A and B are shown apart, each in its own frame.
Chain A
């Protein structure tokens, strides 16, 4: 693969992420990895549901007493929006518009950082209320499920930032196009998992 080959929007292929064998392999392999990630989160969700509101006798905190929707709703909207902005970034990637792609990725990263900040604030808030990781089986399951998602967000953000910095000066080519595409795919996956967390943990939690 020639990294110096210059593309124009006209010569750039419709699907640069799968235009090379390496790209095709990465594409299929990453979807398979997401399948494994799905099973991972399914295990976490199942455990959370089994341990929801379970704790020592006289336990203070339960889901319906603890969770409040406004902040979590804002987080949901922010993360959903960041998924949309990453779609815009991929739209420009496919049109070989590097600057616009970087800009939309930048917005995606900012939204992701806000989400992560709010999540840290939320956890901090719970801990100050006295709902610590070791309080009960419920607290362990909650922090592990939502925290694993948060770790994925952190990894996704680091991935975006590393890609943006690494390729800032050389623009798009057939070698890095699949990398951008997969990072965006990963970001969508994180978003989908959050939708389930919002539903299963928070909405169902508030209902009781």
Chain B
């Protein structure tokens, strides 16, 4: 992204990004594609709100409405929130622990491309006979009855992108376990690194059940298996269990990194060490641990029996404790701090009441008897948007402003950032607060229209106006990004002035090897410690300047992912029975995937070395964009 990078031709830049194994460039890939899917999901949300703007609206047909709500949920969870968080994890986590790259740079790239092709595959359903329409939870009793190929796009697309996420999770875990700089003990890791660590562990253990559930559905729909066919002895509740054993940890996979981003922001802009760092770490671990024990609270009305419901109700309420610990730690971090109200800090401060509201309604639903009343009503819709938008999306927007300089080397405009913030925050509460009451008034979730005699008109109109506000906020953000990129005012190492962790001690964006010399970490908030002691360089070093080993770029990840993409089309059209080309396409796709994996395995890839001379030349202001 430096002046040298911009002199490269467009084709060369595209090729560079398609073959890169640099975590910072992969972060940008995640960021751009996640942002794109966020806009698509947002447009779907706007269409939902236009449809529900007035009673008896015919903007969307009932069938199309089902497709749009399904794709809105699926896109926002799997293709927008997760990749955007993975973007920040990739961009920042290795820098925070003083590493030169992730443990498996090749797999990092593979993870991205699998996610990307899976997302494209899923969205191609719009053009190839209709999108999935059984809701983002894709309950088997609905999904098995769905005609056309929508559900198959869902199962195969999510399988591919799920593999990508699993790979990313393993990669981050190993990176944090093995690649920390000298002195970076576990209890000195920045909170964002800790939340990345725990979220990755959740990815590791939560995605396989989803993959298995998706496989069952693929086998049922494409190959005549009977997992969910009740007449043949199958059981649709198995899908619900597998989905929620994945699905509940999934929401913590989203919210924990969000907590991490906010923890960084509170410390930086209060100019104070995080209050209760140890408690925050253990609360993170506890939330991750409990996250696996509460899945059946999504299934209270299934009829698992009072014992199961009571156990899961109690387990769910317990999660409020570590979450409460975190809230108080953040409040006490702000307390007595020297606060600067930058855009990221505004988001962080707005996050606390918004998320607490979502948490409180969550505890309400944890009470099984009450949940029977709230189940499948707009109260639920209001609740999960309060935690996901009020938690995750606010964190993504805050992180975008906070880490923009570290990722792109420029500062987003603060004035426009605050305009975005106010539009988004007001729009968010306008949209979703009132939905609690719509739910209590009896409006069911997922209905495509309602009657004039039901008394829901005014509240729905208010909700739709709120959605418009959020859309304006996002559009202002896009304008902000465009203006900032055109202006291209470069910033230094620590543009916020109060950075505390290692990523702020190196240039923005960092050179492709991150650290010319591996830093020595002397405590929590290591860069802050050096600043307070007057160390002009911002770091002490653990090694002399010497040759650095770096991994080679590779095009193979794109090929492996493309093979899966092709094979999925074969599998999908194979079920029609009248398409002779489907089976060969399936086989060719798998051959591409496994063949390229074999090539990767057989060809030695030892990487290359950057010499000391090149590093010295860089230090004088030479090549910093990663081209060799």
Q: Which of B132-140, B148-156, B221-229 is the interface stretch?
A: B221-229
Q: Write out, one digit per residue, whether chain B residues 232-270 have a CB within 8 A of any chain A CB (1) or not (0).
A: 111100100110010000000000000000000000000
Residues of chain B lying within 8 A (CB to CB) of residue A133: 223-225
| Cα distance, A43 to B238, chains bound together (Å) | 10
Supply 30 A–B pairs (Cβ within 8 Å), ascending by A: A3-B606, A24-B178, A25-B103, A29-B103, A29-B171, A29-B174, A35-B204, A39-B209, A43-B209, A43-B212, A47-B227, A47-B242, A50-B238, A51-B238, A54-B235, A55-B226, A59-B233, A133-B223, A134-B223, A135-B226, A136-B232, A137-B235, A139-B226, A144-B215, A144-B219, A144-B225, A144-B227, A162-B601, A162-B602, A175-B604
Query: 9 closest A-B pairs (Cβ-Cβ)?
Result: A54-B233, A137-B233, A140-B225, A55-B233, A134-B224, A43-B212, A40-B208, A25-B103, A39-B208
| Cα distance, A1 to B170, chains bound together (Å) | 24
Given contacts A3-B606, A43-B242, A136-B226, are A33 and B231 in contact (CB under 8 A)? no
Q: Are A29 and B219 in contact (CB under 8 A)?
A: no
Q: Are B229 and A137 in contact (CB under 8 A)?
A: yes
User: Which listed residue (B170, B212, B219) contacts A40, Cβ 8 A?
Assistant: B212
At the interface, yes or no: B471 with Cβ under 8 Å from chain A? no
Given contacts A28-B177, A54-B233, A55-B232, are A47 and B216 in contact (CB under 8 A)? yes
Q: Are A137 and B208 in contact (CB under 8 A)?
A: no
User: Which listed residue (A32, A135, A139, A141) contacts B173, Cβ 8 A?
Assistant: A32
17 new A-B pairs (CB below 8 Å) besides A32-B204, A47-B216, A162-B602?
A: A1-B606, A29-B173, A32-B170, A32-B174, A33-B170, A36-B205, A39-B209, A44-B212, A46-B241, A51-B233, A54-B234, A56-B232, A59-B233, A133-B223, A162-B598, A162-B601, A166-B602
Q: Write out, one digit per residue, whether chain B residues 585-608 have a CB within 8 A of any chain A CB (1) or not (0).
A: 000000000000010011010100
Q: Are A39 and B205 in contact (CB under 8 A)?
A: yes
Q: How many residues of B contact A (CB 8 A)?
A: 42
* Chain A residues with a Cβ under 8 A of chain B: 1, 3, 21, 24-25, 28-29, 32-33, 35-37, 39-40, 43-44, 46-47, 50-51, 54-56, 59, 133-141, 144, 162, 166, 175
Q: How far is the CB of B405 from chain A (nearest CB, A)?
A: 30
| Cα distance, A28 to B241, chains bound together (Å) | 30
Q: How far is the CB of B178 from chain A (nearest CB, A)?
A: 5
At the interface, yes or no: B166 with Cβ under 8 Å from chain A? yes
At the interface, yes or no: B125 with Cβ under 8 Å from chain A? no
Q: Are B204 and A140 in contact (CB under 8 A)?
A: no
Q: Write out, one digit per residue, whether chain B residues 265-308 have a CB within 8 A of any chain A CB (1) or not (0).
A: 00000000000000000000000000000000000000000000
Residues of chain B lying within 8 A (CB to CB) of residue A3: 604, 606
Q: Are A36 and B219 in contact (CB under 8 A)?
A: no
Q: Are A137 and B232 in contact (CB under 8 A)?
A: yes
Q: How far is the CB of A205 from chain B (nearest CB, A)?
A: 16
* Chain B residues with a Cβ under 8 A of chain A: 103-104, 166, 170-171, 173-174, 177-179, 204-205, 207-209, 211-213, 215-216, 219-220, 223-227, 229, 231-235, 238, 241-242, 245, 598, 601-602, 604, 606
Residues of chain A lying within 8 A (CB to CB) of residue B166: 36
Residues of chain B lying within 8 A (CB to CB) of residue A135: 226
Output the nearest chain B residue to A132 by Cβ-Cβ distance: B224
Given contacts A21-B178, A134-B226, A136-B232, are A175 and B601 in contact (CB under 8 A)? no
Residues of chain A lying within 8 A (CB to CB) of residue B207: 36
Residues of chain A lying within 8 A (CB to CB) of residue B606: 1, 3, 175
Residues of chain A lying within 8 A (CB to CB) of residue B241: 46
Q: Are A51 and B234 in contact (CB under 8 A)?
A: yes
Q: Find the residue from A21, A36, A56, A139 having the highest chain B CB count within 10 A.
A: A36
Q: Are B208 and A37 in contact (CB under 8 A)?
A: yes
Given contacts A25-B103, A144-B225, A162-B602, are A56 and B233 in contact (CB under 8 A)? yes
| Cα distance, A33 to B207, chains bound together (Å) | 12
Q: Are A25 and B238 in contact (CB under 8 A)?
A: no
Residues of chain A lying within 8 A (CB to CB) of residue B231: 56
| Cα distance, A172 to B623, chains bound together (Å) | 38
Residues of chain A lying within 8 A (CB to CB) of residue B229: 137
Q: How far is the CB of A169 from chain B (nearest CB, A)?
A: 13
Output the nearest chain B residue to A52 by Cβ-Cβ distance: B233
Output the nearest chain A residue to B601 by Cβ-Cβ distance: A162
| Cα distance, A90 to B340, chains bound together (Å) | 59
Q: How far is the CB of A85 from chain B (nearest CB, A)?
A: 22
Q: Are B212 and A47 in contact (CB under 8 A)?
A: yes
User: Which listed residue (B104, B204, B220, B232) contacts A25, Cβ 8 A?
Assistant: B104
Residues of chain B lying within 8 A (CB to CB) of residue A32: 170, 173-174, 204
Given contacts A1-B606, A35-B205, A162-B598, are A138 and B174 in contact (CB under 8 A)? no
| Cα distance, A138 to B234, chains bound together (Å) | 8
Output the nearest chain A residue to B220 by Cβ-Cβ distance: A140
Output the nearest chain B residue to A175 by Cβ-Cβ distance: B604
Q: Are B208 and A43 in contact (CB under 8 A)?
A: yes
Output the nearest chain B residue to A138 by Cβ-Cβ distance: B233
Residues of chain A lying within 8 A (CB to CB) of residue B227: 47, 51, 137, 140-141, 144
Residues of chain A lying within 8 A (CB to CB) of residue B225: 133-134, 140, 144
Residues of chain B lying within 8 A (CB to CB) of residue A166: 601-602
Q: How far is the CB of A141 from chain B (nearest CB, A)?
A: 7
Q: Find the residue from A40, A51, A137, A162 having the highest chain B CB count within 10 A.
A: A137
Q: How far is the CB of A30 from chain B (nearest CB, A)?
A: 9
Residues of chain A lying within 8 A (CB to CB) of residue B215: 144
| Cα distance, A3 to B212, chains bound together (Å) | 40
Q: How far is the CB of B23 from chain A (nearest CB, A)?
A: 14
Residues of chain A lying within 8 A (CB to CB) of residue B103: 25, 28-29
Q: Are B235 and A51 in contact (CB under 8 A)?
A: yes
| Cα distance, A37 to B213, chains bound together (Å) | 14
Q: How far is the CB of A43 from chain B (nearest CB, A)?
A: 4
Q: How far is the CB of A101 from chain B (nearest CB, A)?
A: 18
| Cα distance, A32 to B219, chains bound together (Å) | 27
Q: Are A47 and B104 in contact (CB under 8 A)?
A: no
Q: Are A136 and B233 in contact (CB under 8 A)?
A: yes
Q: Are B601 and A29 in contact (CB under 8 A)?
A: no
| Cα distance, A54 to B178, chains bound together (Å) | 47
| Cα distance, A137 to B238, chains bound together (Å) | 12
Q: How far is the CB of A161 from chain B (nearest CB, A)?
A: 11
Q: How far is the CB of A176 from chain B (nearest CB, A)?
A: 9
| Cα distance, A175 to B604, chains bound together (Å) | 9
Q: Are A36 and B204 in contact (CB under 8 A)?
A: yes
Q: How far is the CB of B101 from chain A (nearest CB, A)?
A: 11
| Cα distance, A55 to B235, chains bound together (Å) | 10
Q: Are B170 and A36 in contact (CB under 8 A)?
A: yes
Q: How far is the CB of A147 from chain B (nearest CB, A)?
A: 10
Q: How far is the CB of A33 from chain B (nearest CB, A)?
A: 6
| Cα distance, A16 to B235, chains bound together (Å) | 49
Q: Are A40 and B211 in contact (CB under 8 A)?
A: yes
| Cα distance, A24 to B179, chains bound together (Å) | 10
Output the nearest chain B residue to A39 by Cβ-Cβ distance: B208
Output the nearest chain A residue to B206 by Cβ-Cβ distance: A39
Residues of chain B lying within 8 A (CB to CB) of residue A21: 178-179
User: Which listed residue (A28, A43, A136) contacts B174, Cβ 8 A?
Assistant: A28
Q: How far is the CB of B602 from chain A (nearest CB, A)?
A: 5
